[in-house]
Structure 1
Amino acid sequence: MTHQDVLDFWFLPRSDAGYGKARPEWFRKDAAFDTAIRERFGALIAQAVAGGLREWDIDHGAEGTLARILVLDQFTRNAHRDTPGAFAGDAL
């Protein structure tokens, strides 16, 4: 899993017509979206919460940092909705 996989999932690929536009999934509970994040990125979320993925900041600059922030902030909230795990990445 790469930083680009995270960015493409969240923002859609640059080649997609929806790229750069706000997505409805960001602003509502969506069980399918939450499940997709949990299944596809669950191991990556655990790695980031354990302090990993910091190399993305160095290796990929601002895009790597953004991807790590998305994993720690947004992906945790979706994957662990309505549980304390939703906030597990906040301090990082």
Structure 2
Amino acid sequence: MSNRNKFTDDYKKEMVKLITELGKKPADVARDIGVTPTTIRRWVKQYSLHGEDAFPGKGNLRPADAEQRRLEKENKELKEEIAILKKAMGIFSRDVK
């Protein structure tokens, strides 16, 4: 069984606000909730980079990342379709003797 604490995204946001808005030290907040200061600093960094979408949850992607993944998949499929069509054109455009 895991000894790791599981914090909700709302809880993480509240801890970040303690630091960013109230000026508490990351080490003090970390000690109070039982995590390392590095963890708190990582939460602050994620929140500063991604805002409200910073903590999507385990196995979930931020909306921008989900859209990026969808577009990459679509691009790959289109490239495969183009390659198939090029091969078909080559076959049908040959001179039959």
Q: How does the TM-score come out when normalised to structure 2?
A: 0.31
* Bigger Rg, which one: 2
Q: How does the TM-score come out when normalised to structure 1?
A: 0.32
